[in-house]
Amino acid sequence: MIKKDFSIKIEEFQSKNNQDKLNYLSDFWDFPIQNEPFKLIGTYEKSDKPDKNGKEYGFFNNIRNINGDILYYPFNLGQVRIWVEHRANLLGQKFWQFDVEFSKITGKNPFQLNLTNRTFGNPKNSFIDRIKKENLIRKIFIETGSCFSKEITGSGYNLI
């Protein structure tokens, strides 16, 4: 497999303003984003070790838009992850909704996102329903080894 070098595109976006980056992400994710901050949903995972200053922290992983699509940064920069100072209450549920904006310190990723505040909410029921359907489809696929599932009535097969 040939690995494409995106260093020129990444460098180009380092100097772009946030609105240009936002427009690009909106197109890349095929999800309308009007302005900063915008809402995302993720699963909190606490780090095993404290940071260099001895403070506990974690990451929101499995980042999704409010429709439930898993998000990746453009140009092979990886799956979206968001750093957060540890709070014990974040371990209390599977998914959290939060507001993000572009980081002022981007390093190698001009699209790096940060939390805008420490207010966390619950995703809408439609999001939770989508995740449940996704898990059911995954379970059926694992159990059957295919993308076909026998109907509950036993009268035939349906393509999922």
145 to each of 123, 133, 139, 156, how far by Cα in Å? 31, 17, 10, 17
Whole-number pLDDT of residue 131: 76
Whole-number pLDDT of residue 66: 86
Whole-number pLDDT of residue 46: 95
Residue ranges of domains in the chain, CATH in brackets: 7-123 (2.40.50), 124-160 (no CATH)
Whole-number pLDDT of residue 130: 74
Whole-number pLDDT of residue 140: 81
CA dist 48 and 46 (Å) reads: 6
pLDDT tens for 96-113 read 999 999 998 878 999 999
Whether residue 101 contacts residue 117, with contact meaning beta carbons closer than 8 Å, is answered with no
Number of Cβ within a 10 Å radius of residue 99: 16
Stretches in the chain below the pLDDT threshold 50? 149-160
